[in-house]
Chain A
């Protein structure tokens, strides 16, 4: 999927640039045609792509949605956050509690799944906004480390409240999304297109592609609109923003709310991706909602280029896609997995080394990340 959706990434990604000129009617028609083509491609992908690759791409899209939220927070609003994995946890837990019925001693409200999804995103946004007393007072690195405390807090709360978040050993299960009788987890109603049975992987791919697309369009609107201008004003100079009538505290709260909402949606997608399993982490520094994930998201947005939405998708493909795609590509080829002294270079190790190195190289040589590289390539073509 990374190819399909990142096709829009090399387009102009205005970073500090504000206000777009009116689009020529022919260009706008072309743009609609492009979106239509993209929708058709995304619709057809699950029919031709094997199931394992669909699993990889749905995971990448989970990362992409979360990373888009973080790139707006860090790149557009200038607020360093290491708390993204905490908001994933908030979204996942909220969805699970709202949608599942309270059996086996778990807390559950048994609401319709679509409503639960919306409410989970809203709750994550509210939690993000509730961080305002801290985010409004701190900036830069102080804010980054302060936000890290949320990850620790979430980790501890999830451990001591097993009736809400499930136990660390076995977790708890949430329901699949059921939209007007169409279930995205199971095969009811059964469906086959061009002779290909549309199972769970195919359904999740459609769902995730649609969610990623919606998330992208909403983010695009926010970044290009009034909200985005206010964020950039705060990022560039808080005092100047205040003088111009931008409420710094409110914009910071908004940025945290929006990024929290995106992370919350990504958190729900994580739960679906694990077949509805929600399981808190054993340790605070490794697991689904750990500091390692918070740093992985940071790596995504840095690799993609801070503030760039298309870049966030590319970053997600690099950081979340690589560890899953390496074993698929090297299947049956034992020489592809290097080993040394008994401790092997597993796909996860390779990915960590690669994205660590990428982060270093990008800060040193191309602070704009992949987005800047894409812009440069695009510029070469348009200017001849």
Chain B
């Protein structure tokens, strides 16, 4: 029983991290129809900034800078690269973000070098809370709390604020939204900023001993990769689906790690996604694409 509770706790904690990443991913997709393969690199970039500034600014200041930097990088990618390729097919733009991902990943990995693995979870790294005979690790607990607050805040803003209205309008119909006076570039840039910020917040929980293991920040890009199946199986057009997808991925991973082995956990995530996609080709909550002949 306590093993099962442990699996649930680990799964939910990691699921919260994936949900943060996947939500940013989906927001970017909704506003620009671009699959952002550089999402893991946005996170890694934010993490690197935190790592670099931590000795001078302290954890909190560095974390703030990292989040802002990742958001700025997101806006930069959107404004400098994607906004200049409006005519390109969305699959080409996805490939473009793969190029961006390769560049950022290579450069950050090179800068990190082979030195000792950096960890970013200073305030909650050593926290442990007992719960029904199981323990929840600090990073996972704080990830869960942060995710509840941020994701809750996002849905409120998405539903009730003007920003949320413009974003929903634009994803519904870009031309009509533009004719209604919605400034398209503001919507897309804010979506990329939000995606970058959420990714950088997620990295604060990934680059910790319980989540990334001994490799710390250097393993973060690979872990963040699990946000893709999360977003895809939830349905790329649905923010709610991203949260569900994140939890499904987290639970699949933790139960596979517990009952089979750690290597299979990485595969299980993708197998779950494959099964969902075969049953529902647009994900659990995704909008089925209408094709006009």
Q: Is the C-beta of A243 less than 8 angstroms from some C-beta in chain B? A: yes
Task: Give residues in B with beta carbon < 8 Å to A.
Answer: 35, 81, 84-85, 88, 90-96, 98-103, 105-107, 110-114, 221-222, 225, 228-229, 232, 236, 263-264, 266-267, 269-271, 273-274, 277-278, 281-283, 291, 293
Tally A-B pairs: CB < 8 A: 128
Question: Contact between B267 and A367 (Cβ–Cβ < 8 Å)?
Answer: no
B184 to chain A, nearest CB (A): 19
Closest to B104 in A: A356
In the complex, what residues of A have CB within 8 A of residue B283's CB?
142
Name the contact of B95 in the complex, choosing from A239, A240, A298 (C-beta under 8 A): A298
In the complex, what residues of B have CB within 8 A of residue A364's CB?
81, 84-85, 88, 96
Name the contact of A239 in the complex, choosing from B222, B229, B270, B291 (C-beta under 8 A): B291
In the complex, what residues of B have CB within 8 A of residue A98's CB?
none
Q: Scan A68-112; emit 1 where CB is below 8 A from any B CB, else 0.
A: 000000000000100000000000000000000000000000000
Question: Contact between B113 and A152 (Cβ–Cβ < 8 Å)?
Answer: no
**Residues of chain A in range 181-205 having any CB-CB distance to chain B below 8 Å:** none
Q: What is the size, in residues, of chain A's interface with B at 8 Å between Cβ atoms?
A: 48
Majority DSSP secondary structure for residues of B touching A = helix
A208 to chain B, nearest CB (A): 27
Task: Give residues in A with beta carbon < 8 Å to B.
Answer: 80, 133-134, 137-138, 140-142, 144-146, 148-149, 152-153, 155-156, 159-160, 237-240, 243, 283-285, 291, 295, 298-299, 302, 341-343, 345, 349, 352-353, 355-360, 363-364, 367
In the complex, what residues of B have CB within 8 A of residue A284's CB?
222, 266
A378 to chain B, nearest CB (A): 24
A207 to chain B, nearest CB (A): 31
Question: Contact between B35 and A357 (Cβ–Cβ < 8 Å)?
Answer: no
Knowing A302-B95, A349-B110, the reply to whether A142 touches B277 (Cβ < 8 A) is yes
Question: Contact between B102 and A295 (Cβ–Cβ < 8 Å)?
Answer: yes
A45 to chain B, nearest CB (A): 31
In the complex, what residues of B have CB within 8 A of residue A363's CB?
85, 88, 92-93, 95-96, 99
In the complex, what residues of A have CB within 8 A of residue B229's CB?
145, 149
Name the contact of A134 in the complex, choosing from B85, B114, B278 (C-beta under 8 A): B278
Question: Contact between B274 and A353 (Cβ–Cβ < 8 Å)?
Answer: no
Known: A152-B270, A356-B103. 10 other contacts (CB 8 A): A145-B232, A156-B267, A159-B263, A237-B293, A299-B99, A343-B110, A345-B110, A353-B107, A363-B95, A363-B99
